[in-house]
Amino acid sequence: MPTVAMKVNGANVVHDIPDNTLLVSFLRETMGLTGTHVGCDTSQCGACIVHVNGESIKSCSILAAQLDGADVTTIEGIANGDELHPMQQAFHENHGLQCGFCTPGMVMSAIELVEKNKNLSEREIREGLEGNICRCTGYHNIVKSVQDAATRMGG
Amino acid sequence: MPEGIASQGIGASVRRKEDRRFLIGKGKYTDDINRAGQLHVYFLRSPVAFADIVSIDKERAEKASGVIAILTGEDVAADNLGGPICGWAPTNKDGSAPSEPPHPILANGRVRYVGDHVAAVFAETLEEATSAAELIDVVYSEMPAITDLKTAMDQPQIHDGMEQNTYFDWELGNEAAVNDAFDRAETIVNVHIRNNRVIPNAMEPRAAVAEYDKGDARYTLFTTSQNPQLTRLVIGAFMLNIPESKLRVVAPDVGGGFGSKIYVYPEEAVCVWASKKLGRAIKWTADRTQAFLGDAHGRDHISEVKLALDKNKKIIGLRVDTLANLGAYLSAFAMVTPTYLHGTLLSGVYDIPAIYTNVKGICTNTVNVDAYRGAGRPEATYLLERTMDVAAKQVGMDPAEFRRLNFIPKDAFPYQTALALQYDVGDYEPLLDRAMAMIDYKNFESRRAKSAKDGKCRGIGISTYIEACGIAPSAVVGALGGRVGLYESAIVRVEPTGTISVLTGTHSHGQGHDTTFAQLVCDKLGVDIEAVEIVHGDSDRTAFGMGTYGSRSLAVGGTAISKALDKVIAKGKIIAAHMLEADDADIEFKDGKFTVAGTDREKSFGEIALSAYVPHNFPHDRLEPGLEETAFYDPANFTYPAGTHIAEVEIDPSTGVVELVDWVCCDDFGNLINPMVVEGQVHGGIAQGVGQALYEEAAYDDNGQLLSASYMDYCMPRADNFPSLKVQNLVTACTHNDLGVKGCGEAGAIASPPALINAVVNALSPLGVTDITMPATPEKVWRAIQDAQTKAAE
Amino acid sequence: MYSTKYVKARDIDDAVKALKSADDGKFLAGGMTLIPTLKQRLANPDCLVDLSACGLSSIDDEGSAIRIGAMTRHVDVAESALVQKAIPALTHLAAHIGDRQVRNRGTIGGSLANNDPAACYPAALLALGGTVHTQSRSIAAEDYFDGMFETALEEDEIIHAVSLPKPEKAAYVKFPNPASRYAMVGVFVAKFADGVRVAVTGAGEDGVFRAHDLEAALNANFSADAIADGMVSSDGLMSDIHASADYRAHLIGEMTRRAVNACT
């Protein structure tokens, strides 16, 4: 069983895990970080998106062992204490979530999208969320949330 | 009322209280729950659609690493367990009862669809259970799969004792009057309708965690349910023979339902059963493939529609004959969905004097079909609104004006339809007018011409819908074969410090009840929203209730809360009268204060709450301590939301790709509690309807294999499939509930498919295309254009 | 997922050694296809040899061609100024593979080694007449693809890099499968001094292929008008619930016209 050391939400963690452990299983089961969700088995729904070294990836499609030494951030790690991240705040203000299941992946995906380009058009936001499926919102308020967050994040 | 409170009451777009936990990753879904020493169960599913099970050899699997037990249909039969039941049974047109074949929770001797449960493998880890399942050797004796709805009645019986593979043959309306209308008709319109089969796809796959406590002989089930109280009733009383009081069912945060989490499924019952049998907690979580194969699907109707018009282009008669594919087994609402939720709605928003419908519920070798967002009402709306467009074209009228001509006039309410329902209130023309103004209907032709210059075909499509919501009056339901009442419960518990817990029998899985129900409390009691906690989903805490579906939670559950709040205020007045030494009748309650009328003598709500629990000098002969009230509300009628949705599309004829370019709607949901939440519900409903109309299809092959069994092949709408959606409201208040509300959860999904298909056909009509079936995929659209051009050339 | 052993190779030699010592090992690049395949239990390798530490991520200008290291991610190709200048069609292609999360992990080498019949990169390699470099040899695009999910690579052969000649102009147009968003038809048109090459992905029963009839038409007249309706036969094209062979044949013609118009 390999030992995997990584930084998760700013804390150094070291665990012995089976080789075939997916990152999402490592986060949910080993670390107890159940905010990251699994909504499909073909790497399409995006409910499992986290940041690895600042980039968004699908944690269902990578082994934890591949990320030895990496810096991982999950939905639990983006708020500043009690103060929500601007993206979280924007989703709240704009009713960008309903059942909440796709929300963590949606927020993590959107943060990277906005960090790369704060002057996104509506079309660019819609295309940029291609890797995230939501069944509740019709995406309308998610798009509004991302537009609002882009402003909050300095766009 | 203080401004801060007013901004939290009825009509305010209060930001949702439940958001925070979801946004910081602290939602608590069933799969997030683990129990010490839990086993994982993996269900071995049938790879074939229709077969007798010759043998199951589980010896090798039982010896595999980590395996604790493997249970099969023989074990189920030995323990004499029941299966999921049907909650509502319509009567056949000959007066006989419908056919309700048994549904064993693990297949017993025969499998009837790909995905049917053959064995449950329990192991220390899910990987071990999954690996062991591969070692089970099942020998099947296959029979030809029956998947075609049109020919299923002529095939061998899927269940012994059934006839023509038909669960029921139901009718409603006056056939003689309809025949007479057709005899008199100036114009007869015939339309063939196919309502495609879709898969609900809540983003959270179903899951269950069950444990048995030997100490108090009590089970606990955590499950992904829209109605945990009904789950408890069905599993306890009908499946596992457990006294209800010995089974606690908790539906924690649930990641979307859309109908698919109403029903009790075999998996959760197996978990409960095995938790005692094996003496370990049991956990099951579906992956998406299992969700595709095992969750109840939706829609899947074929209808023949005949509409009779008189010389003034007024509708005088309607006949609809429908075949509804219900799959291999019946689930809770399977039979009511195509009958009472579908057949009764065929009058739509139109004044139709004579209507007759016949619906046959058909058994096939596919997974069961049941209510999916809208449940029967989208099917009714789709066939009627498509027919209205075809009829308008046939008589040479603008589709908007043809609809307007046939609307039930606003002075005709209450309006008795030809199909049992009585609409209490409505005003349909302003909804149509507003939506037409929103999309600039009158200038559409110039937009069409502009698109044509770019080589695109532009089309516009209208849907003027109605739905019967606020399900449902128990007396009506009972008379129509419903086996439960459809009232709702509420307990309002005022705590000594003045905080308030509201316990509701409904369940929120995205609808925002934590917020909107709290707004009712703020409005009535004048307390801050932070002092209100909405409790739902735990059978140990809430009173018996019916759960959330059928756009019922606010109209029925909210009204129950309102009534319980009234009782709290009434008792508060008696307490205040006692404290203020006044007559009960002289106490007024306003803005959170109990006042002696015409004086400045008053007690705050908080003082009354505290006093209720410190009753040192209460006159106990007329005043009990405590401040907690329960109400059960049984509605007097359904509610009838209505509205107009208009879609505009642009089609690239060289590929057949349909682009949705504009969407407007104006709905009448009665009074709004939280407009922001309402708008969100409409957005989501529209998206699901757009999905059905353009992208989604559960496709089975002739062998009963589901071809669209993953997101690689089942097309879920994404953000880039939509434009911004323009949503507005007008209000006629419901006349028979305290809040004047009607419900909004299903409207979008009911209204939208015909608007889209009408728009697609409108776009292609200059090319000679007259119909397109859902989903309007690129190839289908391209082919329709090719066929029309070939025909035109001939 | 079945149990397996994970090895992160230090370099190519180490990777080959690790694979040879396994019974049924597999190289792991970005893992965007392999990991989902393993999750579905569709493969059961006893060892996964991770190539990410082998130093194969690079983009270099070789004059008449660009050379891209096998472990270069789609996002790196999409954001490369060098690629944008040399072959803008490739920038466009890379920027539209999968979704952002896939582009943050998936690699050009992984895509080519896997040779999914609906993947985008095979069309680029074939249309550009590129070369696949491994530790032991260089393989011309024409000799590289060998049917769906099959290539000329030996079991322990690792792609180091890919050379892609710079065309006069080129374009890639994809008609995505609405569900999976892989190419249902993807057409890469590349115009060189010595002629036009057209490669089609997503449509062929044997994977990516060159459309010689279309090439001939475009060699005669490099214009969208040169592509007539019915020029593409449906023989050998895939048929599934999303698109019949006929419709794919039509789309190949239509996407080719669009690619010609988009050529830069």
Number of H helices, E strands in chain C: 11, 12
pLDDT exceeds 80 at position B349: yes
Task: Collapse the DSSP code of B308 into the 3-class scheme (helix H, G, I; strand E, B; otherwise coil) and give the result.
Answer: strand
Average pLDDT over residues A37-46: 96
- C32 with C94, same domain? no
Report the relative pairing of strands B282-285 and B39-45 from DSSP bridges: parallel
The CATH number assigned to the domain holding C15 equals: 3.30.43.10
pLDDT exceeds 60 at position B1: no
Which chains, if any, share at least 3 CB pairs under 8 A with chain B?
A, C
Task: Collapse the DSSP code of C2 into the 3-class scheme (helix H, G, I; strand E, B; otherwise coil) and give the result.
Answer: coil
**According to the model, what pLDDT value does residue A2 have?**
87
Average pLDDT over residues A133-144: 98
Domain boundary pick from C165, C191, C216 = C165
Give contacts of B258 with chain A, Cβ < 8 Å: 135
Q: What topology is assigned to B298-472+637-793 in CATH?
A: Aldehyde Oxidoreductase; domain 4 (3.30.365)
The tokens of B477 are what? 């339901």
- C74 with C159, same domain? yes
Average pLDDT over residues A134-143: 98
The string of pLDDT tens digits covering residues C196-248 is: 999 999 999 999 999 999 999 999 999 999 999 899 999 999 999 999 999 99
- C176 with C216, same domain? yes
**φ and ψ at residue C43, rounded to 5 degrees:** -145, 155
In whole angstroms, give the CA distance from residue B537 to residue B527: 24
Q: What are the start-end ranges of the E strands in B366-487?
A: 415-416, 422-423, 457-466
- C200 with C158, same domain? no
- DSSP classification of residue C229: T
CA distance A60 to chain B (A): 12
Contact C178 B782 (CB under 8 A): no
**According to the model, what pLDDT value does residue B151 have?**
96
DSSP string, C205-217: TTSSEE-HHHHHH
Average pLDDT over residues B350-357: 98
Q: What topology is assigned to B35-143+203-256+261-294 in CATH?
A: Aldehyde Oxidoreductase; domain 3 (3.90.1170)
Report the relative pairing of strands C5-8 and C47-50 from DSSP bridges: parallel
The tokens of C126 are what? 């074939």
Q: How far apart are the first and last CA of chain B?
A: 74
The string of pLDDT tens digits covering residues C117-147 is: 999 999 999 999 999 999 999 999 999 999 9
The CATH number assigned to the domain holding C210 equals: 3.30.390.50
pLDDT exceeds 70 at position B287: yes
For testing the chain C interface, which of B779, B780, B787, B790 should be mutated: the one with the most C CBs within 10 Å?
B779
Q: Mean pLDDT across chain B, nearest whole number?
A: 97
In whole angstroms, give the CA distance from residue B290 to residue C86: 47
pLDDT exceeds 60 at position B42: yes
- Residues B583, B577 contacting (CB under 8 angstroms): yes
The tokens of B67 are what? 């395996």
> Chain B, 678-737: which have a CB under 8 Å from a chain C CB?
695, 697, 699, 707-708, 711-716
Task: Collapse the DSSP code of C160 into the 3-class scheme (helix H, G, I; strand E, B; otherwise coil) and give the result.
Answer: strand
Domain count, chain C: 3
- C95 with C154, same domain? yes
Residue C54 resides in a domain: no
- C112 with C34, same domain? no
Q: Which helix (H) or strand (E) holds B687?
A: helix B675-690
**According to the model, what pLDDT value does residue B620 have?**
87
Task: Name which of C3, C178, C243 is nearest B715 (Cβ-Cβ).
Answer: C178
pLDDT exceeds 70 at position B327: yes
Of B359, B514, B484, B354, give the one whose Cα is nearest residue B15: B514
Sheet holding C138-140, edge to edge: C59-61, C65-69, C159-165, C131-134, C138-140
The CATH number assigned to the domain holding C98 equals: 3.30.465.10
Cis peptide before B176 (omega within 30 of 0): no
Residue count of chain A: 155
In whole angstroms, give the CA distance from residue C146 to residue C156: 17
What residues make up the domain containing C212?
169-262
In the structure, what pLDDT confidence band is assigned to residue A1 with cuts at 50, 70 and 90? Answer: confident
Contact C241 B699 (CB under 8 A): yes
Q: What topology is assigned to B3-27+487-633 in CATH?
A: Aldehyde Oxidoreductase; domain 4 (3.30.365)
- C85 with C125, same domain? yes
DSSP string, B133-156: HTT-EEEEEE------TTTGGGSP
- C32 with C81, same domain? no
**According to the model, what pLDDT value does residue C43 have?**
95
Which chains, if any, share at least 3 CB pairs under 8 A with chain C?
A, B
For testing the chain C interface, which of A29, A41, A44, A116 should be mutated: the one with the most C CBs within 10 Å?
A44
Helix, strand and coil in chain C, % to nearest 5:
35, 25, 40
DSSP string, B474-523: HHHHHHTTBSS---EEEEEEE-TTS-EEEEESS--SSS-HHHHHHHHHHH
Task: Collapse the DSSP code of B223 into the 3-class scheme (helix H, G, I; strand E, B; otherwise coil) and give the result.
Answer: strand
Question: What are the residue ranges spanned by the domains of chain A?
Answer: 3-77, 86-152
Average pLDDT over residues B240-262: 97
- C95 with C176, same domain? no
Second-level CATH architecture of A3-77: Roll (3.10)
Whether the CB of B220 is below 8 Å from some CB of chain C: the reply is: no
The tokens of B543 are what? 């009173």
- C97 with C195, same domain? no
- C77 with C157, same domain? yes
- C159 with C66, same domain? yes
In whole angstroms, give the CA distance from residue B428 to residue B405: 11
**φ and ψ at residue C11, rounded to 5 degrees:** -155, 180
The string of pLDDT tens digits covering residues B174-233 is: 999 999 999 999 999 999 999 999 999 999 999 999 999 999 999 999 999 999 999 999
Which CA distances in Å does C121 have to C58, C135, C261? Answer: 17, 21, 21
In whole angstroms, give the CA distance from residue A114 to residue A112: 5
Sign of CA dihedral B136, B137, B143, B145: positive
In whole angstroms, give the CA distance from residue B488 to residue B482: 15
Where exactly does CATH 3.90.1170.50 map onto chain B?
35-143+203-256+261-294
- Residues B149, B130 contacting (CB under 8 angstroms): no
CATH superfamily label, A86-152: [2Fe-2S]-binding domain (1.10.150.120)
Indicate yes or no: pTM above 0.95.
yes
Sheet holding B587-590, edge to edge: B587-590, B593-596, B602-604
Which CA distances in Å does B254 have to B258, B264, B489, B658, C70? Answer: 11, 15, 20, 33, 43
pLDDT exceeds 60 at position B303: yes
Task: Name which of C3, C100, C180 is nearest A20 (Cβ-Cβ).
Answer: C3
